[in-house]
Structure 1
């Protein structure tokens, strides 16, 4: 029986500094993508002062991310970070295809209440946009882990909500 599990991150946990705040055992294993899902934003996060990312089942779409290997002792901290106990996200299993074609079964989190209709990220209304800090975490994590240039270009098309106030997160994340 394995003492670890694989987790597919596509949001702020792309960034090593972010995932290690609550999950110190996380080790980056690979990058990869999930098929037939799209990246979207809907639910407002008090912590991030804007919407947080989710994945929504969508034919012919892909979401890139990072596969982290974590010790099972971090399963509860990851669930807690994702708000599973508050029905913000629920955990599910997905097959992640890595750059070399390997398929890895990973835990992933999807919001419990997802948008029904597809709106291009560039066209999201202000109430559906992530905050500048949250979006920056996603972009920095994508760049840090060398996600494909086309995907990073796509992430850069996502507008933020312009929030300029304080955030309810660790100050270490606010430092460069």
Structure 2
């Protein structure tokens, strides 16, 4: 799970695909490569049935599924950002649990930290969350057919403010 001394590798598959989103709380994040997690599928949902969150809809998680695949980005982060990444993922609140996974990359297999939602309840993402995921997939050159699958995900009808507003100011 570690790269150079003092660093760890993180496999992102949701909003943290987008560099500007990840670096809001984890400025040490550096793109390493893209990769594929075999035998998992991407799902959108909530960690409790009727919880409101800052994204106003479902967020990404992975679920074990033989034959499935999830594409994402391997980031290298300083160990000092392990706590901020855990906090961003709500580990302290029981929303997600850290998971160690083996990701297939052009550089071989990489052991990475990732996160899986606890107590998953399916829920469509907000259009803003879906947009951040798709922008990140595009930004990092994930396979076109995978990007099409992301674009085909049904979103809810939320149209108010979201974290996307914060990210867009960083991207300008």
TM-score (norm 1): 0.88
Moved more, 38-47 or 89-98: 38-47
Match of 1:157 among 152, 160, 169: 152
Map of 1:21-100 to 2, 5 A cutoff?
A: 21-43=24-46, 45-98=52-105, 100=106
Aligned-residue offset at 1:133: 0.6
Distance 1:110 1:94 in 2: 11
Size of the aligned set, in residue pairs, is 163
Q: CA RMSD in A?
A: 1.6
Distance 1:90 1:36 in 2: 18
Aligned-residue offset at 1:174: 3.7
Distance 1:77 1:170 in 2: 19
SS at match of 2:145: helix
Q: Which runs of 5+ in 1 are unaligned?
A: 116-126
Q: Give the equivalent residue in structure 1 for 2:131.
A: 136
Runs of at least 4 residues off by over 3 Å: none
Aligned-residue offset at 1:114: 2.9
TM-score (norm 2): 0.90
Confirm or deny that 1:107 pairs with 2:113.
yes
